[in-house]
Amino acid sequence: MVRYPLAAGLAVLTVALTSSVALAQTEVTWWHAMGGELGTKLEEVAANFNASQSDYVVTPVYKGSYAETLTAAIAAFRANEQPAIVQVFEVGTGTMMAAKGAVYPVYKLMEDNNQPWDTAGFLAPVTGYYSDPEGNILSLPFNSSTPIMYYNKDAFEKAGLDRDVAPKTWAEVEEFSKKIVASGAATCGFTTGWVSWIQTENLSAIHDLPYGTLQNGFGGLGTEFTFNGETQARHWDNLAKWSKEGVFKYGGPVGGNDAPPLFYSGECAIYMNSSASRAGVVANSKDFEVGFAPLPYYEDVIAEPKNSIIGGATLWVLNGKSDDVYAGAAQFFTYLSQPEVQADWHQFTGYLPITNAAFELGEEQGYYAEHPGSDIAIKQITRGTPSENSKGIRFGNLTQVRDVIDQEFEAVLGGSKTGQQALDEAVQRGNVILREFEAANQ
């Protein structure tokens, strides 16, 4: 074989090269949950950091959905095989905060490694969500989002509506949807991802209604759920009624995987989901123009809707790695917090700009003027003064509670329960889960 020596030579060369690289640079592993357009962008961010210096290599590893990534990281931690950095969604915050022995708090990491760290520079609703009671940020806000409303401008026009006016209230959502369905502009009015996050948690925040006791869980572990109020129950009943009438189409539990194709294909004219879906929405909605708007509200419940609450994820650093690795992680975080890096990530993905500087940079660049609607999320999350009810929510085992909410919501859709019955049941089952968490973490 003539090719053999060449192949062997190449193999030796490759081994020599990679091992010399490995010797010179410290590897910082980063487990994340960003698939599709977001994942490609995230890898670009890591590659840019790697190219910007020669001491560290950040290796991003895609670990599946948010829940799967969190589970994988915990399992890896138990086996002492954990990554240095892991991306944990906001729902896992309670779980991570309770795991004091597993987490290296970010403020401490930055301090120990002499990296600049200015809490005041971050967007206020973001810092509030991820700080301990003393105001120290425990994880690096990386990709925070908030739900907004997307709508199909062309379908609006076809139905005889103004293509530039989005529905403001739920009454208008119903009215517009019925017109759209009746005119045949689309077969369904609206759909939504994340019933738990958008149609329950954010619904409560926007209407200034408590989700749980003890300031929505910020005050300690002994908290109980209170999201079974009249407005939430009425909303669930409405969704079930609209589902029967063909106004609303359910996109499935958890993230609602069936919802995006419903909007992309033009079947549903309105779509509520994370502001971070923007990259995907714009990339996939080629046949029509997309409009952006804040989430609707019930005008008889609240005249001035409150701010929406956060979603997305932060980067947590796990204990048990060498000092070199932590030095690399700290340097990487400094890089990530730079306005240029943040603004680029925010503008590409639709996640919120994490720092005020990144937002200002975007304004200077004329990004928001050029892309109308791209600032809806920031405006919505910063409108008014946050109340105890709209500051955010923090509960342990919230992933499980969200599953309960999905199950109960499906029972309402199926017609076997009313909104009130289902929410009462969800609160009761959710409280059992909270007690479980309390017992395990006391």
Partner 1 sequence: MQTKRTIFPNRWLPFALLAPQLAITLVFFIWPALQAAKSSFEREDPFGFKTTFIWFDNYAKLLADPMYLNSLWRTLIFSVLVTVIAMSVSLVLAVATNRLLRSGRIYTTLLVWPYAVAPVVAGILWWFMFNPSIGILSYVLGQLGVDWNHRVNQDQAMILVVLAASWKQISYNFLFFVAGLQSVPASLSEAAAIDGAGPFKRFWTIVVPLLSPTTFFLLIVNINYAMFDTFGVIDGTTGGGPAQSTNILVYKVYADGFLGLNIGSSAAQSVLLMLIVIVLTIVQFRFIERRVQY
Q: Which stretch binds partner 1 (CB under 8 A): 126-134, 225-233, 269-277, 413-421?
A: 413-421
The yes or no reply on residue 397 touching partner 1 (CB under 8 A) is yes
DSSP codes, 99-128: -TTTEE-HHHHHHHTT----GGGB-HHHHH
Which distant-in-sequence residues (6+ apart) come within 8 Å of 411 by Cβ? 417, 422
**Minimum CB separation from partner 1 for residue 7, in Å?**
32
Cα-based angle 322, 327, 331 (whole degrees, multiple of 5): 150
The yes or no reply on residue 228 touching partner 1 (CB under 8 A) is no
Q: Which of 407, 418, 420, 421 binds partner 1 (CB under 8 A)?
A: 407
Q: Which stretch binds partner 1 (CB under 8 A): 104-112, 137-145, 245-253, 379-387?
A: 245-253
**Minimum CB separation from partner 1 for residue 189, in Å?**
14
- Contact call for residues 275 and 352 (beta carbons, < 8 A): yes
Binding mask 420-439 for partner 1 (x = CB under 8 A): ---------x------x--x
Q: Which of 63, 408, 423, 430 binds partner 1 (CB under 8 A)?
A: 408
Write the CA distances from 192 to 250, 256, 293, 321, 437, integer angstroms.
7, 7, 14, 41, 30
The yes or no reply on residue 281 touching partner 1 (CB under 8 A) is no
List beta partners, residue 85. 30, 317
**Minimum CB separation from partner 1 for residue 200, in Å?**
16
CA atoms within 13 A on the CB side of 129: 32
List beta partners, residue 152. 290
Q: Which stretch binds partner 1 (CB under 8 A): 50-58, 94-102, 321-329, 359-367?
A: 94-102
Write the CA distances from 40 to 33, 233, 280, integer angstroms.
12, 40, 12
The yes or no reply on residue 219 touching partner 1 (CB under 8 A) is no
Q: Which of 6, 21, 22, 440 binds partner 1 (CB under 8 A)?
A: 440
Q: Which of 95, 216, 223, 331 binds partner 1 (CB under 8 A)?
A: 95
Q: Is 101 exposed, middle or buried (0-12, 13-18, 19+ CB in 10 A)?
A: exposed
* Rounded CA Rg of the chain: 23
- Smaller CB separation from partner 1, 253 or 294: 253
The yes or no reply on residue 43 touching partner 1 (CB under 8 A) is no
Location of structure tokens 């959710």: 430
How many residues bind partner 1 (CB under 8 A)? The answer is: 39
Cα-based angle 417, 254, 83 (whole degrees, multiple of 5): 150
The yes or no reply on residue 52 touching partner 1 (CB under 8 A) is no
Binding site for partner 1 (CB under 8 A): 67, 71, 74, 77-78, 95, 98-99, 101-102, 243, 249-254, 258, 261-262, 265, 267, 397, 399-400, 403, 406-408, 410-411, 413-414, 416, 429, 436, 439-441
